[in-house]
Chains A and B, each alone.
Chain A
Amino acid sequence: MSEHHLDARNILCPLPVIRTQNAVQELQKGDRLTVVCTDPGALNDIPTWSRINGHKVLDLKNENNLVTITIEVEGLES
């Protein structure tokens, strides 16, 4: 298991999801990815994307206009 970080600040939906999706494609099952965004839409979209693709949302924060989401890679991309 390894920890990874993704800076998705100052971009709007769906780019934070696309960047997350592309980053996850490079990771292994069990790896963790923490994404930082400024678009409040990421609060819904990254967890939704994670659920439909079988990944686990471990943590989700929305503080000082920054959304921070940590996901654990579970599912396998088709």
Chain B
Amino acid sequence: MLATRVIMEQGIHVEGINFFTGFCVEGHTHAIRKKDRSKPKRNNALWVAEQLGIKLHIVDVIEPYKNIVINPKHGYGANLNPCLDCKSFMVSKAYEWSKQHGFDFIITGEVMGQRPMSQRKHTMPVVQKESGAGDLLVRPLCAKKLPPTLPEREGWLDREKLYDFSGRGRKPQMALAEKFGFKEYAQPAGGCCFLTDASYSKKLADLWQTRGSREYELDDIMLLKVGRHLRPRPNFKLIISREEGETHFLEGYRKSFTHMRTLSHGGPLALVDGQTSNDDLLLAAQLLARYSQGREADHVDVAIHHYGGNVEQVSVTPLNLHEIPEDWYI
């Protein structure tokens, strides 16, 4: 937002690009859960574009991004976050787009030293080189800390009106925001990618391990964002909704999985992922019963909707909490 405005102040036409990888954390990806419904249900990139009065192009990069997540040349951060590869990838895509649409250069809001992997002094040139953007990549907020780029050398941009921000502190950015009259802005300091989340990364690692290959489809990674995931046996896992919003969301996937609902008591919806025996399904039903309103009952009736359409009704004793080992929770 700041970098864009800095460039617009120089009379330059700017348009935004936002990439959708499938791992993005957005206000209303979470808003399917009740606890998050008080947060605004808006896409921050669109909101920012409207505040700035610029066009925004949202680009689906789900397929090409897979290789970044699966084979990051520079490795992962604390979790399965391939930040440096990701940054180079996005800058390369932005550069490609800018050439196709007749733009002269690209800008990012990076600040040297602000992020531990992709925005360090020695990694910023890596992004410039590996993205192919070279010195057509301008970082207006820390440009004065970097060698002049082509737009600065050619005088398309006045370098003196760019900034020299660095480090993890955000006071200079906040002061600049105030100068521009920005009263509200998207929450800074990351948290915009599920791959930086330890719990999510654990679920993705489990998915790869049990499938025997480091691959995924969009539905796989969307489902990792929702529900309680338990793997009681290596051959299957259960995804159990935690509230009505998640139940509603998982219902969209029920035809692709064997799924279960409690009949005698109110309760969640569970999807069963994996190849299961009858015994596995009975255990799954007991687990589901544990998370239903019949958790203290002697028996809970559960409908098992087999993949393909057959429906079977079973009566099970809910598992006690102490019968659910901690390592079943993914």
Contacts and interface: CB of A to CB of B under 8 A. Distances in A.
Tell whether A and B belong to one assembly. yes
Interface of A: 9-10, 12-15, 17-18, 21, 38-41, 43-45, 48-49, 51-53, 65, 78
B18 A14 contact: yes
B248 A13 contact: no
Contacts of A48: 42-43, 46-47, 49-50
B211 to A, nearest CB: 23
Given A12-B222, A40-B28, A48-B50, 17 more contacts: A12-B29, A13-B27, A13-B29, A13-B43, A14-B26, A17-B43, A21-B57, A38-B252, A41-B26, A41-B42, A45-B42, A45-B46, A48-B42, A49-B46, A49-B56, A52-B55, A52-B56
Interface in B6-36: 15, 18, 20, 24, 26-29, 31-32
A39 B101 CA distance: 31
B15 A41 contact: no
Contact of B28 (A12, A18, A51, A52): A12
Interface residues of B, number: 31
Given A17-B58, A39-B28, A51-B50, A44 B41 contact: yes
Interface of B: 15, 18, 20, 24, 26-29, 31-32, 40-43, 45-47, 49-50, 53-60, 101, 222, 248, 252
A13 B252 contact: no
A49 B20 CA distance: 15
13 contacts: A12-B32, A13-B29, A15-B20, A18-B59, A21-B58, A40-B28, A40-B41, A41-B31, A45-B43, A48-B50, A51-B50, A53-B56, A65-B248
A17 B140 CA distance: 29
A25 B140 CA distance: 31
Nearest to A38: B252
A78 B24 CA distance: 25
A21 B29 CA distance: 19
A21 B15 CA distance: 15
A54 to B, nearest CB: 8
Contacts of A9: 252
A38 B252 CA distance: 10
Given A44-B41, A48-B42, A48-B43, A18 B49 contact: no
A2 to B, nearest CB: 24
A58 B319 CA distance: 53
A38 to B, nearest CB: 7
B249 to A, nearest CB: 8
Contacts of A52: 46, 49-50, 53-56
